[in-house]
Structure 1
Amino acid sequence: MIKAAKRLDTVQEYYFSIKLREVRSLLAAGKPIINMGIGSPDLQPPVKVLEAISNSLGDANAHKYQSYQGLPELRNAIASFYKSKYSVDANPENEILPLMGSKEGIMHISMAFLNEGDKVLIPNPGYPTYTSVTKLVGAEPLFYHLSDEHYWQPNYTKLEKLDLSDVKIMWVNYPHMPTGTNANLETFEKLIAFGKKHNILIINDNPYSFILNDNPISILQVDGAKEVALELNSLSKTFNMAGWRVGMLLGNATYINEVLKVKSNMDSGMFYGIQKGAIEALQLSNDWFTTQNKIYEERRNLVWQLADKLNCTYDKNATGLFVWAKIPEGKKSEEVTDAILYNKDIFITPGTVFGSQGEGYIRFSLCVTSEIIKEAISRFE
């Protein structure tokens, strides 16, 4: 057998890849599993978006290779979206790069800026892909702890005590996944100042800002942000287009061009029809967000009832596609979620998937219908 590359020794198979195999196995065995673990939207994309992709299939260029930078119309739509929703100006010619999902962007950014031995500040708890990609490119994760006592915001006193001499990138993610904590402009202003002080590229991963959130903001709203910051965004959660793989990266033209060097060697452009659908999505009125959030609000209220059944506590001001709940003192996250899976046939994510600071918490997804959540509640009565 040919031995795998050493870089694979640094990572494990993604938790959800492993656990969902187990869930499928239980389903195949006849278990009535309710999956409240993953954030894959179950709602449909906008009708206009589906019509746009369908109507585009007969266009002359629909099935050809596409530009690595995406259609000019798509970049213009992203620029208009950022201007109207975040009050951010971005030049569609050189400050916007469409991506085949923002997860792709995490790899491309890391390959563009990190050398072996560089260090990367990663939130704990946080999205596991930040860590795995950092390791895959030979860089070193340097975790900064977030906690509920600091409202899941960076603790700059502790950050300044770290050895930051080799840090090249800092990942931030607000609204925060998994906790749902929102940022504010003060948070972003401090992050930009921190990045400038230590010559660190700050990257905000921002796919949740319109879900159950009345105040969507961008790190690029801060004066001078483009000197040291990039922002990833996505249509996956906002427009129920997770499987379409449509993301975007915004920031300084020089940084964007470095990422483009990687991307242009990794793919051959996004499918034309998907770009046409994305353009339509980005032009929708605020009525779309209002309608979606009414559904998610009803579901969240029910998940809070389910969390109450488990004697959990939670923050009612949190935003996003999940409910982050603290389990009773003395219990372990994975022991709790496994017991619920095997005894109640409900899959909930243990907080430890997102780092050591997730111990003592569990995460519920809102990507299930109200009827299914009611069924989950009934299993504890």
Structure 2
Amino acid sequence: MSAYVDSGILVLDNATLGLTGSVARLTKTPALAAVETNTLTVADGAALSSIGSSTVIGNVTSAGALLLSNGYAGGNGTVTGDRLTLAGNYAGNGASIVLDTQLGNDSSATDRLVIQGDATGTTSVRVNNAGGIGAQTHAGMTIIDVDGVSFDNAFLLKGDYITTDGKPAVIGGAYAYTLQASDEEASVGRDWFLSSELNPTNLGPGPGPENPGQGGGGRYQPGVPLYEQYPQILAALNTLPTLQQRVGNRYWSQDGLTELSLEGLDDAQWAWGRIEGNHQNADPAKSTSGSQRDIDLWKLQTGLDIPLYQSQEGSLLTGGVNFSYGKAAADIHSFFGSGSIDSSGYGIGTTLTWYGNDGVYLDGQLQTMWFDSGLSSDTLGQSLVSDNHGRGYASSIETGKRYALGRGCH
């Protein structure tokens, strides 16, 4: 156990600092000076740090930093479980607190600040994620215990972004965590929790089997709507055309029959090309993030059909190869965050088609596409991923019978 000053940081290593009848003022310079009544003052630019479980007996006034995180000089990395107890009142004057927390469920490990008196003023709270992969909380993770009174602005989370409902949040895996107080109004014993629940209620030290906690669903981070819709964008690019869209009327007579012979077809009729464009809007009835998408898409496809066989009755069997290239630009909207996805893809495909002489047909397609995509979050104001590569496969079998409308059915 030890206490020492390191470059303006007073480090308590499983130690107790007692203040009796004096004020200790910690400044940017490595000096600790006693002045008057039981108060430790942390000046702007200075810091009080705790390793393990440490206690300050007396009041603390801070315009600097309280460091429970272990990433500073002399610490041992991002390790949770540090506990700093202030046996007196705490007053923040634009101060900050830095903690290590494993952002996960209610039982996740975390550093903790315990204030045995009142908490006044304003202090920002910064949370370092200590390897948490994210989970939905119910009771929340206690990071600050206040035995006395604390007001709404006593502790403000310095988050990664501001949520749609105006709350600072930090990101852990697929979830976003906000700082919540156990009571809506200032009261004695009002504690502070990290919660990944959308509308948390019944916040407390632990849910337990008889008090599971109640509230809304999980609060997802802004990337979730984009990643949820991402496969749908790629699927739209990988969609296969129908036989009619692909070949038009090149092999059909007006009566819906394949009455053309191979010798009657010009070589140019075996080569083909098509271009398509569309706008899609989807608002799924069921969605994890409640997201909707708007897609603008275009695609170019060209290919060559090869005659394989024609019977004396006029049936025709063809095989083909084709190449395609397309782009999709999508806007994604959700309560949890909005953004955009830009994808491009190129692919190759094969076809095998049988045309009966009575209008019956059977068409099979196989296609492989390679994608290159970028995902950007408007809510976070940054790119989530660029040059993300993927591959998709598509296959289809289509059969039917062609009729010439207005000439009767065959």
TM-score range normalised by the length of the shorter chain: under 0.3
Q: Which has the higher strand share?
A: 2
Structure with a larger share of its residues in helix: 1
In the superposition, the TM-score normalised over structure 1's length comes to 0.23
Higher Cα Rg, which structure: 2
Relative contact order: is structure 1 or structure 2 higher (C-alpha 8 Å, sep ≥ 6)? 1
